[in-house]
Amino acid sequence: MVRTLTLHAPLGTRILSFLSGIGMMISSILTVRHYFQANFPESIFEGSFCDVSAFFNCDASAFSEISAVMGIPIGYFGMFAGALVVLGILFPSRRFEQTNSFIALGNVIGVISLFLYTVLVLHSLCLLCSGYYVFSILNFFLFLRWGAGRNIFYRFFHPSIKMLVVFTVIAGMGGYGMIAYHNAREAAKVGATMKIVKEFYELPIVGEPSFVSPYRTVSATDMWEDAPIRLIEFSDFQCPDCVFLTQQLDLLKEEFAGRLNVAFQFFPLEGDCNDVVSKDLHGGACELAYMAAHDPGQFLAIHDELFANFNAARDPEWRRDLAARYGVETALDDPATREIVQTIMQTGMEYEQTHDRYDHGIRSTPTMIINGRMVIGTLPYEHMRAIFQALVDEAEGGRQFLENWVPPKARKVTR
């Protein structure tokens, strides 16, 4: 009798296979959940936070082009593969096992490809995805060691065509449902903007810091307070979510030209220069802050280049080349540069606690102070736009936003 994983392997091995399938499912469910939380928050309090360090974070994956296929989060496919492993243990058969072996091979190839892409291209690693990688490799190893078949080729390349067709149809039906859900969440962004604006106006007024950074990324008026929209961005050049926020602001500064001021409040999450919080997440962030602050006339150009080359900026050699090109090599040792960055950073101590673990309100990046109200984390373009439009309406016409706001796609252009 040929020994097989689901029919004749030791009980402990079968239990391990069952647990690997459960682990694949749980990891995938958490990944899908994070994808929707990051891209479609339903509340101003649900911004995405998964930033253990510049390298270990899930947001880079959630916001990347590989996060979904035609609106289907890639975690869905892992969830389906894990479910088949579990069903294969509960309802064992030789043909089912050989089909699962075939799927396990394709899955582990996909896992290795995703791992290499995230590490080599995104320069990050999602911990939720890593859980799936571990369980998938374990699952593949079990099929490699105990799978049905006389040899490796027969074991991995002899699936049941009928089962593959059935599984493909079921996965396709589920995928169609996932696309519909994705589209519904996309459409719901419009409805959610009403809630977001209401929640924004219900936030307490915390006020602006005692020292507003003179380093602006958007400048509509010479006097800071003259703009109807005033956004103070506590930010870090090595923060993945800050990249996302910068991309949103790049869109919004065009639409709200002449009405928006954005001050870049340096807040590198690195212990070498920041004693406001105990986090030490982003190596090189202090150095980048000093380089950007050294010559105010070149700040915006350096700011844009750092975020455009976010991954490259982690390389010390790249940073040295950047400093040489902009002539800011002395930034790290310049007392005046260090003083102004410290002055800006220390304003993070002026806000009351927003989390039990940290002494002060400014504890992470990005944190925004929008017209005196604090928003922690990132928001999609639609939500940011709704808040900005409400502030403009309030400042310029006294209109009630919730009564007058029209979604961008529904606006009629009048000539």
pLDDT score for 404: 43
Which CATH number does the domain 11-186 belong to among 1.10.1060.10, 1.20.1440.130, 3.30.300.30, 3.50.50.60?
1.20.1440.130
Residue 401: is its pLDDT beyond 60? no
* Topology classification of domain 203-379: Glutaredoxin (3.40.30)
Q: Which helix (H) or strand (E) holds 69?
A: strand 68-69
Q: Which residue has the higher pLDDT, 77 or 281?
A: 77
- Mean predicted confidence (pLDDT) in 142-157: 85
Rounded Cα distance between 98 and 159, Å, is 5
Q: Is the pLDDT of residue 406 over 70?
A: no
The domain locations on the chain are 11-186, 203-379
- Quote the tokens at residue 224: 């800071």
Per-residue model confidence as pLDDT tens digits over 238-272: 998 899 899 999 999 999 999 999 999 999 999 99
pLDDT at 355 over 90: no
DSSP state of 310: T
User: Is pLDDT at 399 greater than 60 in this prediction?
Assistant: no
**pLDDT per residue over 304-315, tens digit each?**
999 999 989 989
pLDDT at 413 over 70: no
- pLDDT at position 39: 82
Give 290 or 56, the one with higher predicted confidence. 290
The pLDDT value given to residue 56:
77
Q: Per residue, what are the HEC states of 15-52?
A: HHHHHHHHHHHHHHHHHHHHHHHHHCCCCCCCCCCCEC
Neighbours of 291 (CB within 10 A): 25
Closest of 242, 266, 269 to residue 331, by C-alpha:
266
Q: Is 113 helix (H, G, I), strand (E, B) or coil?
A: helix
223 burial class (0-12, 13-18, 19+ CB within 10 angstroms)?
exposed
DSSP 119: I
Express each pLDDT in 24-40 by its tens digit.
999 999 999 989 888 88
Cβ pair 389, 401 in contact under 8 A: yes
